[in-house]
Amino acid sequence: MTELAVADDIALVDLLDRVIGEGVVIGGDIVLSIAGVDLVYLGLRAILAPAHVAGPSAIGADALAREAL
Amino acid sequence: MITLYAVTWRADATTLYDSGLDLLADGDLAMVVGSAPATTTREDALSFGRTVEQIASAVDVLPFRYGTTVADADEARVLLREHGSAWVARLQKVEGCAELAIRAVPPAADEKRAQSGAEHLGKLVSRSRLLNAAEGELGDLLTGRCRVVRRLAGHEELKLSCLVERASAEPVRSVLQEWASTRDDLVVSVTGPWAPYSFAADGQDAGVAL
């Protein structure tokens, strides 16, 4: 692999790292309760997406980065 | 479903009319959105990233994390209203800036397998000291050149993100590459300028303000 190709791959990994692991996330809070009794308070930093769309975030940047290489 | 790409200033958003993306405005802000792709592949993630970079080359942005989608434009407008004041403050902090990414890792030749637990721990300690020392040197080097430097998670390597004024990105990159060329004990890469992903969310000025 040439030096230029390696540099391109590193740039792709860094871009994926940012796209998947950084950026604005929509925050929210949720209180789980049963019969009107608050049981657990969760501070969420949720990505509002169905599982099939949010998949790569769960996989993580490293896995995608390896794939990119 | 629509994908959220970035938040920008409403006044600047007019330059994005030909981008093929939709703009939703509220107050001083505009949200750049597009239809959500049906698939989720590495190429989709890269395509999202390239689109954000294209937007960021024209205007100041707070990029959304890949995969952030909402049901429709009304839901997006609600988010814009709810988070508007926080996003205005955040956008002001990254105004005119881009992000440079630095990675430093010991060369692969140093990865010889440890013969004992003690040797393994010793190697981990040495690696950690080497990376911490490099972080200190880079902090000194970047003082006065970057607004903020943030260390990203990664115990096997040193990953830093620098918030730098766009006009200074290339000169700072040159300084970093010159430093990298003096380090035989580290493999260093510098990439960017990127949209300021690592400084887009609340609590991300946790780095060192320089």
Assign B115 a pLDDT band (cuts: 50, 70, 90).
confident
**Parent domain of B156:** 97-199
pLDDT in tens, B61-92: 999 998 888 888 998 999 999 999 999 999 99
Q: Do B155 and B166 have their domain in common?
A: yes
Domain end among B94, B126, B151: B94
* B65 occurs within a structural domain: yes
**pLDDT score recorded for residue A54:** 43
Residue-level pLDDT at B82: 92
Give the domain-ending residue among B73, B94, B115. B94
Q: Is residue B30 part of a domain?
A: yes
Confidence of residue B110 (pLDDT cuts 50, 70, 90): low
What phi and psi values does residue B160 have, to the nearest 5 degrees?
-120, 145
Together in a domain, B107 and B177? yes
Q: Kindly list the residues from chain B whose CB atom is less than 8 angstroms away from the CB atom of residue A55.
A: 40, 67
**Domain shared by B111 and B42, yes or no:** no
Largest CA distance in chain A: 64
Q: Are B27 and B166 in contact (CB under 8 A)?
A: no
Residue B207 included in any domain: no
Looking at the structure, do residues B150 and B174 belong to the same domain, yes or no?
yes
pLDDT for residue B187:
93
Same domain, B34 and B120: no
How much is the pLDDT for B166? 95
Using an 8 Å CB-CB cutoff, list chain B residues near A28.
Answer: none
Closest by Cα among A33, A48, A65 to B82? A48
Residue B119: is its pLDDT beyond 90?
no
- Judge contact between B141 and B204, C-beta under 8 A: no
> Residue A21 pLDDT > 50, yes or no?
yes
Helix (H) or strand (E) holding B99: strand B97-105
Any domain includes B205:
no
pLDDT at B204 over 80: no
User: Could you say which of A15, A47, A67 has the minimum Cβ distance to residue B65?
Assistant: A47
Claim to verify: residue B70 and residue B102 sit in the same structural domain: no
pLDDT classification of B57: cutoffs 50, 70, 90 = very high
CB-based contact (8 Å) between B129 and chain A?
A: no
Best to test chain B binding among A6, A12, A17, A19 (most B CBs inside 10 Å): A19
Domain boundary among B40, B72, B94: B94
**What mean pLDDT is reported for chain B?**
90
Phi, psi of B193 (to 5 degrees): -70, 140
Q: Is there a contact between A23 and B200 if contact means CB atoms under 8 Å apart?
A: yes
Chain B within 8 Å of A20 (Cβ-Cβ)?
yes
Same domain? For B131 and B69 the reply is: no
* Same structural domain, B146 and B118: yes
Residue B130 inside a domain? The answer is: yes
> Looking at the 3D structure of chain B, how many domains does it have?
2
